């Protein structure tokens, strides 16, 4: 279901889940930020952007799982885009933003960029979250199936990128294929994943 009302607490909760994710031995995208709270601030802003842009979905009104995805041709409204700009500038300095841009570009071209260049339609999943109290109950599969169903309906692939092998493995277990790994050096790796329509 599309999320039609967004409680501020939900955005903060999702932000916290990302900011305080346990990477173990891995280095995640959080390495670009000054703190875990800065990551949480950015992700909470991303959630607000997805909500304003009509791209935020949940498994049910209880919010056991959330997913943000963009379908082909969906344009981001200015109001939604401003949520992301605000989040970026509240969570990173200009110097940190530049460093992140340089670090990501060092990893090479993403699957999303290749698809864009070839003018091929796709669904891009920007965020997936199952709140702590619902983890381990199968909700990640249910939330991913929302995007897969849309990919099947439109007959386009579903793309997702993630910043940890542990996350990558979960997505592969849920039916995605690994397309490639981008090495960002000291900032870790990005994993490009795809699920082609049935």
65 domain residue, yes or no: yes
Q: Is the pLDDT of residue 89 over 90?
A: no
Predicted confidence (pLDDT) per residue in 109-118, tens digit: 999 999 999 9
Other residues' Cβ atoms within 10 Å of the Cβ of residue 140: 22
- Number of separate domains in the chain: 1
pTM: 0.92
Predicted confidence (pLDDT) per residue in 49-76, tens digit: 999 999 999 999 999 999 999 999 999 8
Question: Which CATH number goes with the domain that contains 61?
Answer: 3.40.630.30
1 domain residue, yes or no: no
2 domain residue, yes or no: no
168 domain residue, yes or no: yes
155 domain residue, yes or no: yes
Which pLDDT score is estimated for 77? Answer: 87
Boundaries of domain holding 90: 8-195
187 domain residue, yes or no: yes
């Amino acid at each position: 279901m599309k999320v039609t009302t967004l409680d501020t607490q939900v955005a903060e909760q999702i932000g916290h889940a990302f900011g305080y994710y346990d990477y173990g031995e891995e280095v995640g995208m959080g390495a670009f930020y000054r703190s875990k709270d800065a990551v949480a601030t950015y992700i909470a802003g991303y959630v607000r952007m997805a909500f304003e842009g009509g791209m935020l979905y949940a498994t049910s009104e209880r919010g056991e799982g959330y997913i943000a995805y963009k379908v082909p041709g969906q344009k981001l409204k200015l109001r939604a885009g401003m949520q992301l700009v605000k989040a970026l500038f509240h969570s990173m300095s200009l110097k940190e933003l530049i460093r992140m841009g340089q670090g990501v570009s060092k990893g090479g071209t993403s699957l999303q960029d290749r698809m864009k260049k070839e003018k091929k339609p796709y669904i891009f999943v920007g965020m997936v979250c199952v709140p702590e109290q619902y983890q381990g109950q199968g909700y990640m599969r249910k939330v991913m199936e929302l995007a897969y169903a849309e990919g099947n309906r439109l007959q386009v692939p579903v793309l997702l990128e993630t910043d940890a092998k542990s996350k990558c493995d979960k997505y592969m277990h849920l039916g995605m294929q690994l397309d490639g790994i981008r090495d960002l050096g000291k900032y870790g790796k990005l994993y490009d994943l795809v699920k082609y329509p049935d």
